[in-house]
């Protein structure tokens, strides 16, 4: 690990001309999976340690939705941020972001799952076919459009593959963050909603009574653990300091320092462990999913002529082929 850190820092130092001393503050963006007050309390200890490590103040940046954090990075109001994979992809494409590390779990799991949840006492909603019954006039709680588990994953696996449009199928579709959707289900404000296993773990820890009112109806394939993203134009020496902190936090130091860091991480978000190095290649499966979703939408579009469908589908197939080659070049993908 020490050799990796030294090699990584040396590589980072070769890039860029701006200096870390030009930065007076580092703004850390946090996506709105729940209330900003709850997130601020969760992230504050880790950000304080980051502040000590890099030598300048670190300020948490919140927005009402995921797009607000992405736009914050685009306009240089956010320097680094915690994203889900879908919002990280948007930050890379729209805000010149770059994935540099990935979160991990204390139990060693390499990802999490998207869920459809409903009330635990519902006898009429027990499996996916019940969710897809458009005759019942259900109210559905969907996730932020830039959420991986709250929107992208269920929009493909639950709805696109089953040729179902939620806006046409359900009486009402409301959009909220993970915490909002969970509480809406618990309080019977919607019939079911998207969510994820990370959010459920956190709800179980901080609001066990509400957690007890919820049951799982559907679970997705594994989603890669969340990435941290920085602006690619940050000063190289500041990148080196940030990189060193995240890869060393909970790994390097005295036994007491390592134990303290791991305790802080275990209380951050839904409970993290040490960070692993990562890159934009982490987002390839998410890009693939977006393309599959677009392909299905085109194939099911009755307004398009056969020739137009073929042209658009061929274009997507070309992009998928290019993406497959990229994925083959990445070890363990």
CATH for 305: 1.20.58.90
pTM of the model: 0.81
If asked whether residues 155 and 293 sit together in one domain, one would say no
Question: Is 239 contained in some domain?
Answer: yes
End of a domain among 243, 258, 279?
279
* Whole-number Å distance between alpha carbons of 61 and 80: 10
End of a domain among 184, 202, 223?
223
If asked whether residues 215 and 120 sit together in one domain, one would say yes
* Whole-number Å distance between alpha carbons of 272 and 43: 11
**pLDDT tens digits along 158-173:** 998 898 999 999 999 9
Return the SS3 of 100: strand
If asked whether residues 75 and 56 sit together in one domain, one would say yes
pLDDT score at 4: 41
Query: Domain holding 179: CATH number?
Result: 3.40.190.10
* Whole-number Å distance between alpha carbons of 160 and 256: 50
Mark out the alpha helices in the chain (DSSP H runs): 2-13, 36-54, 66-74, 85-95, 128-131, 153-154, 166-169, 178-186, 197-206, 208-211, 236-248, 255-266, 284-299, 306-328
If asked whether residues 118 and 169 sit together in one domain, one would say yes
Return the SS3 of 58: strand
If asked whether residues 217 and 121 sit together in one domain, one would say yes
* Whole-number Å distance between alpha carbons of 257 and 114: 34
In the block, residue with structure tokens 């809406």: 184
In whole angstroms, what separates CA 181 from the centre of its chain? 16
If asked whether residues 154 and 50 sit together in one domain, one would say no
If asked whether residues 288 and 313 sit together in one domain, one would say yes
Question: Is 296 contained in some domain?
Answer: yes
* Whole-number Å distance between alpha carbons of 307 and 81: 43
Q: What is the DSSP letter of 14?
A: T
Question: Is 303 contained in some domain?
Answer: yes
If asked whether residues 116 and 219 sit together in one domain, one would say yes
Question: Is 333 contained in some domain?
Answer: no
Q: Which residues does the chain have with pLDDT short of 50?
A: 1-17
pLDDT score at 25: 96
Count the domains in the chain.
3
Q: Which two tokens stand for residue 100?
A: 């540099």
pLDDT score at 308: 92
If asked whether residues 118 and 71 sit together in one domain, one would say no
If asked whether residues 97 and 115 sit together in one domain, one would say no
If asked whether residues 103 and 229 sit together in one domain, one would say yes
Q: Which domain holds residue 307?
A: 284-328
End of a domain among 223, 245, 269?
223
If asked whether residues 9 and 102 sit together in one domain, one would say yes
Q: Which two tokens stand for residue 237?
A: 């020496």
**pLDDT tens digits along 109-146:** 878 999 999 999 999 999 999 999 999 999 999 999 88
């Amino acid at each position: 690990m020490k050799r990796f850190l030294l090699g990584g820092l040396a590589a980072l130092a070769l890039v860029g001309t701006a200096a870390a001393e030009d930065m007076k503050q580092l703004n850390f963006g946090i996506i709105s999976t729940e209330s900003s007050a709850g997130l601020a309390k969760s992230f504050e200890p880790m950000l304080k340690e980051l502040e000590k490590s890099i030598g300048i103040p670190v300020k948490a940046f919140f927005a009402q939705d995921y797009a607000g954090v992405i736009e914050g990075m685009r306009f240089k109001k956010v320097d680094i941020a915690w994203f889900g994979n879908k919002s990280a992809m948007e930050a890379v494409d729209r805000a010149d972001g770059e994935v540099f590390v990935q979160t991990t779990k204390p139990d060693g799991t390499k990802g999490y799952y998207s869920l459809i949840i409903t009330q635990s006492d519902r006898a009429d909603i027990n499996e996916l076919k019940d969710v897809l019954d458009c005759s019942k006039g259900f109210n559905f709680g969907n996730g932020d459009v830039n959420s991986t588990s709250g929107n992208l994953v269920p929009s493909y696996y639950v709805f696109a593959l089953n040729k179902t449009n939620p806006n046409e199928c359900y009486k009402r579709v409301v959009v909220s963050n993970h915490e909002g959707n969970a509480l809406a289900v618990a309080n019977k404000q919607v019939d079911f909603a998207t969510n994820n296993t990370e959010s459920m773990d956190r709800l179980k820890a901080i609001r066990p009574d509400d957690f007890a009112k919820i049951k799982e109806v559907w679970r997705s394939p594994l989603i890669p653990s969340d990435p941290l993203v920085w602006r690619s134009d940050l000063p190289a020496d500041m990148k080196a300091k940030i990189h060193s902190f995240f890869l060393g936090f909970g790994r390097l130091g005295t036994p007491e320092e390592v134990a303290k860091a791991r305790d802080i991480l275990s209380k951050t978000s839904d409970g993290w462990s040490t960070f692993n190095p990562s890159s934009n290649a982490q987002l390839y499966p998410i890009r693939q999913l977006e393309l599959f979703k677009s392909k299905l939408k085109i194939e099911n579009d009755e307004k398009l002529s056969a020739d137009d469908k073929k042209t658009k589908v061929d274009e997507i197939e070309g992009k998928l082929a290019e993406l497959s080659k990229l994925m083959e070049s990445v070890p363990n993908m």
